[in-house]
A and B are shown apart, each in its own frame.
Chain A
Amino acid sequence: MVKMPKKERALGMYKDMYLIRQYEEAIYYLFLEGIMPGTIHQSHGQEACAVGMIYDLRKEDYILTTHRPAGHDLAKGVSLRSMMCEMFGKAEGCCKGKGGAMHTGDISVGAITANAIVGGNLPIAAGVALRCKMLKTDNVAVCFFGDGASNEGAFHEALNAAAVWKLPVVYVCENNLYSATTSIKMTTAVENVAADRGSAYGIPSEVVDGNDVLAVNEAAKKAIKRARDGKGPTILELKTYRIGGHSRNDACGYRPKEEEAEWFSRDPVTTFRNRLLAEGVASEEELQEVEGAILAEIDEEIEYAKNAPEPQPEDALTDVYWEGGIA
């Protein structure tokens, strides 16, 4: 078990995880109530992956995320308001209502527009990392993908080049065991879909408990340092589990109940909360205070987003080509 960090750091991680959990829960209920438009691919259950990986990144480092981007984006510092407004399709959304749930991000904090083509972000991450290297910065790219992406051709092309060019990138597979509704065992012969393939590219890899934020963070620190030091890419495979379905209206009929019960008993947010209490890092009252503040903030931003102005229909015609402005 990884040693508990100092209070400020530990609580910081807990706050980030709790924010993601409550954000996703709120979105889920808004969706069930018929208030939230579009589709949703939620990240609750995978909070430790996002927070453990991103906690020590700089603003100038980049993340590349997927169709399940909320946890990563919030952890990297995309504003809650701009995320919520985007979910409601409002003009103040982080993509002005043009992206939606699968394309959130904010490049000004290093969160690149989320990518909803499975595996599509892996070669893009190579390009981002190449840029960091060419400009002689020591910034890095962290690229998240799911187990399903490991069977895309883009995975192979990106990892091979990242290795041969020693790119400053960390490839992070969040293996939640299901590619949409298909068990990864049905489509992949190796046990660890990303990590077992690292040796084929000459990339060091590690399998990590993705529900343990401190374990993830420990592995992240090593991989990020390796990238910053110019030693090349690392593959981290984080074993984790979705709380919800693949997307809206997915009741997870394909997942055995015993499997769900086993994973839910190791819920990353609850587990970490219990450790904070057990090890005397924070009191119940302190945690409740932190949680109350986050819940209030989410409620406030939901109300704000609900009442925020819609985009004008003809706004659809702008941004097809870049028209200048934010560089």
Chain B
Amino acid sequence: MAELSIADALKQAIREEMRRDEAVFCLGEDVDIEGGMGGAFTVTKGLAEEFGNERILNTPIAEILIGGVCVGAGITGMRPVADLQYGDFLFCMMDQLVNQAAKMCYMSGGTVHVPMVLRAPCGATNRGAQHAQSLESYFTHIPGLKVICPSTPYDAKGMLKQAIRDDNPVLVFEHKLLYGGSRKEKDAMKVAGEVPETDYTVEFGKAAVRREGTDVTIVANLLMSYRAQEAAVELEKEGISCEVIDPRSLVPFDYETVEQSVKKTGKLCIVHEDTYNNGWGAQVASHFAEHNIFDLDAPIKVVAAYDTPTPFAAPMENYVIPSTKRIIETVRELAKF
């Protein structure tokens, strides 16, 4: 088994799926230009050598087009995999995504369906407000879309393969600080891990328990799942035992795994890099307030980015995005109940 970065695990997933199924193709701005980067984060670099530029299709800077091409090709039998470069650019294609991709199956009474994958790099990385957002929550509100956020190389490969085989539109959020590709990011985490060279998929709607514990349940995705684990290590020293759950997919969401944990701990803390107001954490909190209030013996806490656009300067960015320290402080308070 090879040790791969997330960027290389994603590349391997695409390569295997393109070999397996001729309907699969990649498109996007700069997906594989000779001398270019391979998307913004190296994932698609080098794929044109094997598959040619018909199936590794470099597009104009035109997100409405990219979205539309995915919809049109998808409903007529192809399996497009688009690279957005930066998730923030999803907003340029909102009509194609929300009015078209998400609704086509429903509006047609199920006679049409839209297999398509949009890969959206996310997360704050000293690039200012328009190349920084964690956008998962917007899309969890739209019936018809699936939303996944793999945070390990194993999941990245297995979930992207699953996404490509899914017959519905799937948004894949990939964190810039977790890629570990050849493009070096300041503050990037080293998350290389074992990735089987065999064909496997990871089912959506199954959370992963990253660390077992008995006192507090922490639900955290992407970069925050790592910060939550760091926090858990520190809190353990104070005698606070945390269970860290990475939901891996937000739509569908695995409430059951979280529920089992909450029944054990009685305390729930949700951590995401997305802003606080109506972030996906609010939905999870609402669900547990609605269904499990008597299993809880403390208020539900949501640790999220403050409700501002993402600032550029590091001291401000680090302040706005939830830090390990902020998670520790919040959980410490929670543990007092």
Chain B binds chain A: yes
Interface residues, chain A, with chain B CB atoms under 8 Å away? 62, 64, 93-99, 103, 105-108, 112-113, 115, 117, 120, 122-132, 134-135, 141, 153-154, 157-158, 160-161, 164, 318-326
Contacts of B112 in A (CB 8 A): 105, 107, 112-113
Return 9 A-B CB contacts under 8 Å, by A number: A96-B110, A105-B112, A107-B108, A113-B104, A126-B69, A127-B80, A131-B73, A134-B73, A323-B110
B168 close to A321 (CB less than 8 A) = yes
Interface residues, chain B, with chain A CB atoms under 8 Å away? 25, 54-55, 59-60, 62, 64-65, 67-78, 80, 95-96, 99-100, 104-114, 143-144, 146, 167-168
Of chain A, the residue at the smallest CB distance from B78 is A131
Of chain B, the residue at the smallest CB distance from A115 is B100
Of chain B, the residue at the smallest CB distance from A311 is B109
Which listed residue (B68, B78, B143, B167) contacts A122, Cβ 8 A? B68
CA distance A93 to B108 in the complex (A): 10
B109 close to A127 (CB less than 8 A) = no
**Could you tell me the distance in whole angstroms from the C-beta of B22 to the nearest C-beta in chain A?**
8
Of chain B, the residue at the smallest CB distance from A139 is B76
CA distance A318 to B80 in the complex (A): 25
Of chain B, the residue at the smallest CB distance from A161 is B65
A97 close to B109 (CB less than 8 A) = yes
* Given contact pairs A134-B78, A157-B65, A123 touches B108 in the complex (Cβ within 8 A): no
Which listed residue (B73, B95, B109, B114) contacts A99, Cβ 8 A? B109
B107 close to A113 (CB less than 8 A) = yes
CA distance A24 to B76 in the complex (A): 29
Residue from B65, B77, B96, B144 having most chain A Cβ neighbours under 10 A: B65
Contacts of A106 in B (CB 8 A): 111
Which listed residue (B60, B72, B77, B143) contacts A125, Cβ 8 A? B72
B72 close to A117 (CB less than 8 A) = no
CA distance A95 to B104 in the complex (A): 10
B167 close to A98 (CB less than 8 A) = no
**Could you tell me the distance in whole angstroms from the C-beta of A98 to the nearest C-beta in chain B?**
5
A117 close to B99 (CB less than 8 A) = yes
**Could you tell me the distance in whole angstroms from the C-beta of A224 to the nearest C-beta in chain B?**
18
Of chain B, the residue at the smallest CB distance from A153 is B64
Contacts of B74 in A (CB 8 A): 127
